[in-house]
Amino acid sequence: MAVPPNVSPTAFNAALVAWRQAVGAEWVFTSAEDVALYRDAYSPYWGEPEERVASAAVAPATLEQVQAVVRAANQHGIPLYPISTGRNLAYGGSAPVYSGSVVLDLKRMNRVLEVNERNAYALVEPGVSYFDLYEHITKAGLDLWIDPPDPGWGSVIGNALDGGAGWTASPFRDHFGAHCGMEVVLANGEVVRTGMGALPNSRSWQHNRWGFGSWVDGLFRQSNLAVVTKMGFYLMPRPEALASATVTAARDEDIVPMLDVLNLLENQHVVNGSTSIFGGPDRPAGNFPAWTITLPIYGPEEVVRAQLNYARNKYAAIPNVKFTQGEVFRTPLPPEALARVRLVNFGIPNLSTFAMLGRSPGNPEPDGGHIGFSPIVPRTGESLLEFKRFYRDNLAKVTGGENLGIVGPVYMTCWDRTLVCLIMFPIGRDKARNAKMRAAFKSWVQLAAERGWAEYRAPAAFQDMISDTYSFNNHALRRLRETIKDAMDPNGILAAGRYGVWPKHLRKT
């Protein structure tokens, strides 16, 4: 049996006894075989000494059990690493950031506690996946949509806490931004409810996120200050229709006015769907437009048709740009339409994204997993063209001229006003190849930071490095976070190292 670092076998055994009493022996995992199930299948250090691995796992099913587990860990100084469904693949999966931590596996907390149709919200536990919430809403016959990310088995809470995004309308596809109210267990085992939830017998916990006084929910995003046990989310009433249009341009420089209009349309809430941007100077040979932007619009049919016309008129003012209206889908989709659409755009969770990431005709021998570097770039045509040049000019330097199968950049528009410029790296079981991916990843992080661009979310192995790039005023932000960490978790038991924040006893300086 493995023992966490800096923990005596006596202390660990005492914690194990307390955990077994709290959750039942069958939900405390210590055998090498069981603990191996918590390895990060997409670890860029797979099989190497630097791979982040768990020492054990404990899986409570209730709030009270979480409290008991955390209290025992705090008493005995055991590092815990909470996971929700553990499917945060490419960002660490179910493995801890601090190797040797005990994984606090919340998958068994899988209750949908409430879905309110009239005020369009849900309250869920961490083990609830997008599949689960979709199923619950569908079975209940409620006229609400969820906003799934690509993999439907992810946790609704976990994805929001990790900064994830989905594929339907703004503001719902910013998952943390769409939450309302949290319940968290602090490192000492105390339960806190945020916003209106702090009112005993509150009747508006999921109606109003602000409550009274300072708003603390942001402390629990991409952080390590508490264990989140409940979270509310705003849901989108089923839109009557989804309309779309495609805008193309012939010249590379046309992207500048194209994105200016796109920003206007999004900031006016005329275009509210998840747009896509493709093309640029390195587009494939042949008769392809320089740029293609898709414009999905959700709403009542007569309204979205008017919004499409408005968008058409705005783009008509740009020379050389072609606006093509696409199909207007009415919802619920008829069965025959399901095969023609990308389901996540219709609030239907699935796993089809892995069909493109895994073995495919274009990639018959895949490495296995992948990781991504996704810097945030202002959403202007000039910035996009600058990033294209940046990628092209540095690729050979970053890879040593070798074709490593790195894919990029792809421009995502999860959030208003920015582009997420994704570069993807295949990860597998070949240590030498993984080492090259890590080196390339680190080079991109450094080169991007020199330009003022940085990542929004990262695999565990690179969180320290990326946190280091957010260094304004001698890392003042990280030092502030460390001050808060030390105050809220003085024994440093919760998710040490997550997003670059380490407890005092593990900090290098």
Partner 1 sequence: MKALPRSAARGALLLALAALTPGAQATEGASPPPASSGKAVYEYWCAPCHAPGPGHPGTQSLQLKYAGKVPAVLLERTDLSARAVAVFVRQGILLMAPFRKTEITDSELAALTAYVAGNFKTPSAGR
Measured from the Cβ of residue 492, the count of other Cβ atoms closer than 10 Å reads 23
Residue 504 interacts with partner 1 (CB under 8 A): yes or no: no
Question: Which residues form the catalytic set?
Answer: 91, 456-457
Using the minimum distance from each CB to partner 1, give the nearer residue, 330 or 359. Answer: 359
Backbone angles phi, psi at 63, to 5 degrees: -55, -45
* Least Å from the CB of residue 134 to partner 1: 8
129 counts as binding partner 1 under rule CB under 8 A: yes
Per CB under 8 A, contacts with partner 1 among 49-108 are 57, 59, 85-87, 89-90, 93-94, 105, 107-108
CA pair distance 197, 183, nearest whole angstrom? 8
Amino acid at position 336, single letter:
E
Report phi then psi at 408, rounded to 5.
165, 180
How far apart are the C-alpha atoms of 422 and 433, rounded to whole Å? 20
43 binds partner 1 (CB under 8 A): no
Q: How far is the CB of 223 from partner 1 (least distance, A)?
A: 21
User: What's the token pair of residue 437?
Assistant: 């991916």
Q: Distance between alpha carbon 80 and the CA centroid of its chain, in Å?
A: 21
Return the structure tokens found at 383: 């910035």
Q: Quick one: 108 or 322, whose CB is closer to partner 1?
A: 108
Q: CB under 8 A: which stretch of 4-12, 26-34, 251-259, 431-439 binds partner 1?
A: 26-34
Q: H/E element holding 103?
A: strand 102-105
Based on the shown chain and the rule CB under 8 A, indicate whether residue 2 belongs to the binding site for partner 1: no
The answer to whether the CB of 81 falls within 8 A of the CB of 97 is yes
Nearer to partner 1 (CB atom), residue 392 or residue 504: 392
Which residues, 344 to 373, sit near partner 1 by CB under 8 A? 344-345, 348-364, 366, 368-370, 372
Scan residues 386-415 and list those touching partner 1 (CB under 8 A): 405, 407-410, 412
- Of residues 30, 168, 229, 244, which one binds partner 1 by CB under 8 A? 244
Nearer to partner 1 by Cβ, of 200 and 334: the residue is 334
Cβ-in-10-Å burial (0-12, 13-18, 19+) of 80 comes to buried
Residue choice 12, 45, 98, 131 for contact with partner 1 (CB under 8 A): 131
CB of 339 to partner 1, least distance (A): 6
The gap between the terminal CA atoms of the chain, to the nearest Å, is: 31
CB nearer to partner 1: pick between 317 and 339: 339
Contact code string over 420-459 relative to partner 1, x by CB under 8 A: --x-x-x---------------------------------
Q: Which stretch binds partner 1 (CB under 8 A): 231-239, 272-280, 316-324, 474-482?
A: 272-280
Angle in degrees, CA 16, 22, 24, rounded to 5 = 80
Task: State how far the Cα of 387 lies from the Cα of 444, in Å rounded to an integer.
Answer: 12
Residues between 297 and 326 with contacts to partner 1, criterion CB under 8 A:
326
Q: Which of residues 147-166 bind partner 1 (CB under 8 A)?
A: 149-153
Smallest gap, in angstroms, from Cβ of residue 75 to partner 1?
24
Q: H or E element: which one contains 16?
A: helix 9-23
340 in contact with partner 1 (CB under 8 A) = yes
Compute how many residues bind partner 1; rule: CB under 8 A: 86
Residue 134 φ/ψ, nearest 5 degrees: -60, -45
Distances (CA, A) of 289 to 247, 277, 315, 410, 481: 10, 12, 16, 16, 46
Q: Which of 32, 201, 212, 339 binds partner 1 (CB under 8 A)?
A: 339
Q: Are 229 and 185 in contact (CB under 8 A)?
A: yes
Query: Count of CB atoms within 10 A of residue 157's CB?
Result: 26
Cβ proximity to partner 1, 379 vs 478, nearer residue: 379
